[in-house]
């Protein structure tokens, strides 16, 4: 008698492991909805990052002037820089999600290459005005690797 043995499952019945954090809905399958969520989320993160970077920036103030600078006046001076960073994050998120969604639909797979190519395409498009071909190649590879690292990190943390 073998009391410690676990009965084997029949070969046609495999247990399904589900991720309790991932729920699928029609909203998740729409590329437009994903792009809008990434645009809004990226804009919010960019706004926060712009405020943070603005707060740690070194400034040259003339102490001989009698004008006192308040937080509100400094933010008013730099609102274009802060919203520019927010727009950049939002555009990056929207472009990345559109490319990733379309690539997942074309390939019918979900793997780290689905994060490499959108990262590459997004960084190349954003950098296309400022760089030459060599810079675009390096930027694309860097963006693709960043996408792959984020994909692996999300998978290791249980978000996928």
Q: Quick one: tokens of 77?
A: 């001076």
Residue 49 inside a domain? The answer is yes
Domain co-membership, 103 together with 157: no
- pLDDT tops 90 at residue 94: yes
What is the distance between the alpha carbons of residues 14 and 81, in angstroms, rounded to a whole number? 55
Question: CA geometry: angle at 48 spanning 118 and 157, to 5°?
Answer: 55
Domain co-membership, 114 together with 87: no
Domain residue limits at 99: 31-56+71-107
CA torsion 43-119-154-101 (nearest 10°) is 80
Tens digit of each residue's pLDDT (9 = 90 or more) over 15-54 = 666 666 666 666 667 889 889 999 999 999 999 999 888 8
The whole-number pLDDT of residue 7 equals: 58
Residue 51 inside a domain? The answer is yes
Tens digit of each residue's pLDDT (9 = 90 or more) over 111-147 = 888 889 999 999 999 998 888 889 899 999 999 999 8
Helix, strand, coil in percent for the chain, rounding step 5: 65, 0, 35
Q: Quick one: tokens of 115?
A: 């994060």
Average per-residue pLDDT in the chain? 82
The whole-number pLDDT of residue 122 equals: 93
What is the distance between the alpha carbons of residues 133 and 107, in angstroms, rounded to a whole number? 28
Residue 43 inside a domain? The answer is yes
Domain co-membership, 115 together with 91: no
Q: How many domains does the chain have?
A: 2
Residue 77 inside a domain? The answer is yes
Going by C-beta distance under 8 Å and a sequence separation of 6 or more, which residues neighbour residue 5? none
Domain co-membership, 49 together with 93: yes
Domain co-membership, 157 together with 121: yes
First to last CA, the chain: 43
- pLDDT tops 60 at residue 77: yes
* Mean pLDDT of all residues in 52-63: 75
Domain co-membership, 35 together with 103: yes
Q: How confident is the model at residue 2 (pLDDT cuts 50, 70, 90)?
A: low
């Amino acid at each position: 008698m073998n009391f410690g043995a676990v009965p084997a499952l029949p070969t046609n019945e495999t247990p399904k492991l589900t991720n309790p954090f991932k729920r699928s809905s029609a909203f998740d399958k729409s590329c437009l909805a994903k792009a809008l969520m990434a645009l809004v989320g990226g804009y919010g993160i960019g706004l926060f990052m712009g405020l943070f970077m603005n707060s740690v920036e070194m400034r040259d103030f003339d102490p001989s002037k009698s004008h006192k600078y308040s937080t509100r006046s400094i933010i008013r001076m730099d609102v274009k820089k802060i919203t520019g960073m927010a727009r950049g994050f939002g555009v990056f998120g929207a472009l990345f999600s559109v490319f990733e969604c379309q690539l997942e639909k074309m390939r019918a797979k979900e793997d780290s290459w689905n994060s490499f190519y959108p990262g590459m395409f997004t960084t190349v498009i954003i950098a296309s005005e400022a760089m030459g071909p060599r810079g675009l190649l390096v930027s694309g590879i860097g963006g693709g690797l960043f996408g792959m690292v984020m994909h692996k990190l999300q998978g290791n943390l249980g978000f996928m």
